Amino acid sequence: MNHAIIGKSVTRTDLLGKVTGEARYAGDIDLPGLLYGKIKRSTVAHANIKRIDTSKALALPGVKAVLTHANVPRVLHAGSPHPRSASVTCDQYILDDKVRYWGEGIAAVAAVTEEIAELALALIEVDYEELPAVFTVEAAQLPDAPTIHQTGPGGNLVLAPVAFSRGDVARGFAEADLIIEGEYEGGRPTPAYMEPNVCACRWDGNGNLTVWISTQTAFMVRGIMAEVLGLPLHKVRVLVDHMGGGFGAKQDLFQHEFLCALLARETRRPVRMEYSREETFVGGRSRHPAKIWLKQGFRKDGTLTARQARVVFNSGAYGSHGPGVTIVGTSALLSLYRCEHIQLEGRCVYTNSPIAGAFRGYGVVQTYYALDIQMDEAAARLGIDPVELKLKNAVREGDIAPSNHALIGHGLEDCIKRGRELSGWDARRRQARPPTGALRSGWGLGCEMHGSSAYPGIQEQGNAIVKMNEDGTVVLLTGTAGLGTGAHTALAQIVAEELGVAFDDVSVVHGDTDVVPWDIGAFASHTTYMGGRAAQMAAAEVKRQLLARAARQLDVAPEELELGQGAITVRGDGMRGMTVCQAVMARKGVPAAQLVGTATYHPTKSYSFAAHYVEVQVDIETGYITVSQVIPVHEIGKVIHPVGAAGQIEGGIQQGIGHTLYEDYQIDLRTGRSLNANFVDYKMPLSMDMPPIHTVILETAPDPGGPFGAKGVGEDPIVAIGPAIANAVYDAIGVRFRHYPIKPEQVLQALARQAGTPTV
């Protein structure tokens, strides 16, 4: 099908505002009488608060209010955004008389300047009754471990262990010629979005609360805020204009957001609270550290016979997205590589550590890291080319995905094959590769599949309202979040294409819960897939009305009309027709009113695929690993905005390189204290560290449920890159790493072990 706008890299609607500084973020909000809020944070990891004295803080001139557990509503609530979902855990208070991790908020101050608020924090006196603390999932699961929460199934579990199985795993292992098992471990990367968490709150005299906030989930903020504060939904207005990233972590509600609303209510003045960079670590959400025990059986020819896994996620001090991550991450092992006999168990464990939450790749980064490295191990043990082994077992059309939907097309095979060609994989394997000085080169392959929408336990829906103005220009009202990915540009393209108008003729209204239709938020790679499809459907409804008007005017049936490039013509008679603008105004002499279309879309589930071919250079003198090139091949259905999709892929690869090689948010395992909660000590790859990336996007399996066949791309790239690097490192130096990040000292130690040399 020929598209006028879909598939074109139009200029993003948010571009100019961002480069000129005109774009407004929640942190830019300034209001008459604005106060500044700050949070006092715990200096111990696990304790009861025996006494908290705010009198000196309150006496400080300029301090307008101080909140502690003693004077905030005591409502047990969820921090994650599915209050009515099966996979949610309600385990948070706004402020509690118990502290569960080092850095947890225990009091909040509103003052006329940020400096006074900081000073007041220091004046709050706290006596703790310290409790034994646990920081690892092993320690937390010991019989005599301290109990972190009274809620939940006990034993410091966030939720009862989840299990998935298929076939008879014992039989599968019995049929195997080769059985491999191993333990794999993922560290604690954090999303490190550019824009720290920030919100501003104002109450009006009628008890209406307005919240300006950086969030991916405005309607969830509205819902949970309303619930915790005891307000009906229409009295809470959540506004999100531009955002500087979220990567999933901003799906949660954070302590300061409730406190900001409460401080504003208490002081009757607007209050703004903004995290420092340190607080984005301490009070933010990291990826779940995970341990995966994985065992698989293979026939000699590479056929998988059985897979068994136990996955344990470290949720930190609160449940947050733990249930969802456990279900999605564990069940992901049902798929990617076909296997008849599978048995999986997933656990999520409380520890006295910083909170883990939603993060791009959502549990799958961890489990596919294990799976894809083990496939590489098996290939080596079986003497089969890993590409061949993965191709042989790759899921394909009709296979049942973890969500119980049948897959469409052969995306994974397509990606693997295309990448094999482009990377010259086969030729290179036949060549000898002489080492160059201290550098050892290697190639690796990582694969993945990821679903758009269909978060477990909930059924999602997209909504849209489309208005066409008298001059044929169009406004889309959408609840989808624009966290910086260009989502609203893609949605405008979809609407323009459907209505046959120019891209510039469409504007997008978003980020105001009073105004736009409900949306679950930026989740699960589904914004373009689900929100875009809803927008397309609403546009189609406007188109229907428009063609009906034109048909009356032209005295033909609507089905005889064609719409495109701002014109409506009678099919087969290009001379008969009218402009879109004329059709809107079709009643003579009448100032025409807008056409309005609304739509609700209940998606099924769409899977995207990727194969990343990666070359690394390992310096055997320093242990330093350099990614020297990446050939990411993605099958994502119809591409709406090629540059936007490529940007997602490149950004995901950069983040994935960071997680695999550098990034790890660390705590002192004796005290729970954060060790590197800043951009000096927490190392991330910069643009200068990035390798050439030769992105290839396939459109071989468009999804009939997506707009024009589009599927998601947001999470794919961060998943495949990790095991590709680890496998390339093995290819380069023959050392198998089963964890991330892989650090230079670990490389040196492993090389020394390999050579039988004692290490320091």
Contact positions vs its own copies (CB under 8 A):
13, 16-17, 20, 22, 82-86, 204-206, 208, 223, 226, 232-235, 457-459, 461, 463, 465, 467, 469-471, 473-475, 477, 504-507, 509, 512, 514-515, 517-518, 520, 585, 587, 589-591, 593-594, 596, 598, 600
Q: How far apart are CB 157 and its own copies at their closest, in Å?
A: 22
Q: How far apart are CB 582 and its own copies at their closest, in Å?
A: 12
Strands (E), 218-362: 236-239, 271-274, 290-298, 304-316, 342-350
Residue with Cβ nearer its own copies (206 or 436): 206
Residue with Cβ nearer its own copies (449 or 464): 464
Residue with Cβ nearer its own copies (180 or 502): 502
Residue type, 645: A
Neighbours of 686 (CB within 10 A): 9
Neighbours of 441 (CB within 10 A): 19
Q: How far apart are CB 232 and its own copies at their closest, in Å?
A: 5
Determine the 3-state secondary structure of 403 from DSSP. coil
Q: How far apart are CB 133 and its own copies at their closest, in Å?
A: 35
Q: Is the preceding omega at residue 741 within 30 degrees of 0, hence cis?
A: yes
Burial 651-661 (b: 16+ CB within 10 A, else e): bbbbbbbbbbb
For residue 297 the two structure tokens come to 């059986």
Identify the H or E element spanning 183. Answer: strand 178-186
What is the C-alpha separation between 323 and 457, in angstroms, rounded? 10
For residue 354 the two structure tokens come to 């910083």
Neighbours of 205 (CB within 10 A): 6
Cβ-contact 727, 385 below 8 angstroms: no
Residue with Cβ nearer its own copies (82 or 711): 82
Q: How far apart are CB 608 and its own copies at their closest, in Å?
A: 24
How far is C-alpha 534 from the chain's CA centre?
A: 21
Residue with Cβ nearer its own copies (83 or 398): 83
Residue with Cβ nearer its own copies (22 or 555): 22
Residue with Cβ nearer its own copies (60 or 458): 458
Residue with Cβ nearer its own copies (511 or 651): 511
Q: How far apart are CB 585 and its own copies at their closest, in Å?
A: 8
Beta strands 739-740 and 178-186: pairing type? parallel
Q: How far apart are CB 565 and its own copies at their closest, in Å?
A: 16
**H helix intervals, 78-217:** 114-123, 137-140, 169-174
How far is C-alpha 229 from the chain's CA centre?
A: 27
Q: How far apart are CB 28 and its own copies at their closest, in Å?
A: 10
Residue with Cβ nearer its own copies (239 or 395): 239
Residue with Cβ nearer its own copies (208 or 666): 208
Q: How far apart are CB 16 and its own copies at their closest, in Å?
A: 4
Determine the 3-state secondary structure of 133 from DSSP. coil
User: Which residues are paired to 211 by β-bridges?
Assistant: 201, 238
Residue type, 542: V
User: Which residues are paired to 425 by β-bridges?
Assistant: none
Cβ-contact 482, 242 below 8 angstroms: yes
Neighbours of 41 (CB within 10 A): 19
**H helix intervals, 200-248:** 218-229
Residue with Cβ nearer its own copies (250 or 467): 467
Q: How far apart are CB 20 and its own copies at their closest, in Å?
A: 5
Q: How far apart are CB 523 and its own copies at their closest, in Å?
A: 12
The CA-atom distances, in angstroms, between 175 and each of 306, 341, 344 are: 8, 10, 19
